[in-house]
A and B are shown apart, each in its own frame.
Chain A
């Protein structure tokens, strides 16, 4: 059993019960204020989007172009991160508002909601950081764990990484297609093509909106709107990439081998979520802009609790971890992003076992 040296079976179960109790307590206390939070967030996001796009129509004047692009970037980030990602997790399903529900939500990104809910909510959140099962470990193109076999083409990793950051939304959509599985004949071409078609349709509508319709609407100012939209999408890609990679790969984060995980109890599942996730420290605004993924640990323990509650849960979770002598990986954005980038570079070369805290401890 993996991570056995952290907790005995009894301790793991007690640990799980304590975390369950926090969940139940928060779940029972959800009410009007939380509903008001998400509605306000949606209002702010839509307001920013309208204002940003309107301002870009006057983009021939540089301050308007800058303000418009900035507002649209923020709107797009909020839409994906604090709203879309969290709504699709079912964090707001308890409100039973059909307009803010995981079963109906679609978001402004290349990855279709249905596909995302499978690959992210199910695969990534259930099998977090297990090499070969959680596709977020490297998105099929990067070697992010020493447990992944090194291949020659991993040498190009710094370049792939930069490309992934800039084109992140397409990387996310395409990593579900599992090309390497298709090549290894574990997945049929027909399935892959079907997925690609859905992604293509969605990307088509998105591009139509951002790169054709809105620019056309601006008439002679076509290019200002076009470039503003392009930059906003690019900014969101970079930001989402940075926050998401900081969630599971900074120094001290654990990755796991499938054979070590086996049949997990709920307590051990919690433990693995904790060991595989990392928080980022920051102010209130930073947390919101990160979709509260800066509370990645809490998000992975409780993926369907509303994100506005993670900040208040965090100290409680941390206290529980301290009592059980468990690591709680948190640090500044610079520390988490710096060590994540170091991991990408280091693992482009063979070896790298030293990055795994467990092997370091076992040694």
Chain B
């Protein structure tokens, strides 16, 4: 499960006197900067070594990562910012941690599904090698279990949306608290279900765990109870899990599924029982590419303006009464760099597109393509 949101980077720990002296000796760099380039394998803050890569279904993989120094651990269900270099360019995505915090061997896992046009997910699943390093943020997210566990739980996932839920289940199992849980999980075909086998084993060991599996593209027979062909719909809850209104519910998956659930829970008047983790898919190239006009939001100054694909963001900002920092106005000095928060912009010189939240773009030579939010 991946998101396009950004999580905070690893925060610095308060410096000890020794570190302060080391800092003064390595200034203007940090001691870590030396360690990082001279000892590429050393565990430094914000960098994790890949220790194992196992396939998890046909197009997903579970990646075991050694925790970096100063890692504070995660709560089951949280996600982490993962940065990886593809063709020399660092890309950052959020992935839910799929292992339990109780794992206790200084490692954690993320489980990544390769998406058809996903540069990053495909790299992680297909090209990553043991020994590579990933840059890591700190685990964050509110999609977690409460300290006082409700008696009965309902968990609903689809595709890689199972990853935070897997972490929760593993965690409950490790704490011996895995009680009455109904889990609804979907995959295209029986063999492609992420964590399919692991969940089955878990259900065999824990009688309280009931699995309901949906195969959206499966035409053949389903042999076991709890297996269904077709797409799960919230309307089926009454038959699958008659007491769903009384259960605390955690759901993670594509937006369509979550909306479907939200409407259903709202109508039943139990919206507060539902906790969701939202999946934010990338805008497909072309989705808004030809838009003539674009809503541009200058995030820091809370100003909105209507732009077009030919006028630079700098000019638009100035026309809207802002006075952003800049220099040459021709793309050579990098004095106007600002953070793209969402949307896509085009470099007017080369046509290059920037479309990742967090990209630093030169606003004097970039124009919006569709709606854009930028930190100016």
Contact = CB atoms under 8 A, between A and B. Distances in A.
Interface string B162-185: 000000000000000000000000
Given A93-B360, A103-B337, A205-B24, A125 B332 contact: yes
Given A95-B89, A108-B28, A304-B334, A122 B327 contact: yes
A1 interface: no
A101 B352 CA distance: 19
A94 B362 CA distance: 11
A28 B328 CA distance: 23
Given A93-B334, A96-B90, A209-B27, A121 B38 contact: no
A50 B24 contact: no
B88 interface: yes
Contacts of A125: 328, 332-333
A281 interface: no
Contact of B335 (A32, A46, A118, A266): A118
B223 interface: no
A269 B327 contact: no
**Prevailing SS type, chain B contact patch:** loop
B240 interface: no
Nearest to A123: B327
Contact of A213 (B21, B85, B91, B352): B21
Contacts of A226: none
Interface in B1-44: 9, 21, 24-25, 27-29, 33-34, 36-38
A90 interface: yes
Nearest to B358: A96
A43 to B, nearest CB: 5
A93 B327 CA distance: 17
B354 to A, nearest CB: 10
Interface of B: 9, 21, 24-25, 27-29, 33-34, 36-38, 85, 87-92, 327-328, 330-335, 337, 349-350, 352, 359-360
Contact of B327 (A36, A108, A121, A213): A121
A221 to B, nearest CB: 16
A31 B332 contact: no
A24 B349 contact: yes
18 contacts: A28-B352, A32-B88, A39-B37, A46-B33, A47-B38, A90-B334, A93-B360, A95-B90, A96-B89, A96-B360, A98-B9, A118-B327, A122-B333, A209-B25, A214-B25, A266-B330, A303-B333, A304-B331
Given A20-B349, A43-B38, A122-B335, A213 B24 contact: yes
A20 B365 CA distance: 14
Interface of A: 20, 23-24, 27-28, 30-36, 39, 42-43, 46-47, 50, 89-90, 93-99, 101-103, 106-108, 117-118, 121-123, 125-126, 205-206, 208-209, 213-214, 217, 266, 269, 303-304
A49 B88 CA distance: 26
B88 A31 contact: yes
A165 B332 CA distance: 28
A121 B352 contact: no
A102 B24 contact: no
B350 A96 contact: no
Nearest to B336: A122
Given A20-B349, A42-B37, A103-B337, 12 more contacts: A27-B350, A30-B88, A32-B85, A34-B88, A46-B33, A89-B334, A95-B89, A108-B28, A122-B333, A126-B328, A217-B25, A303-B333
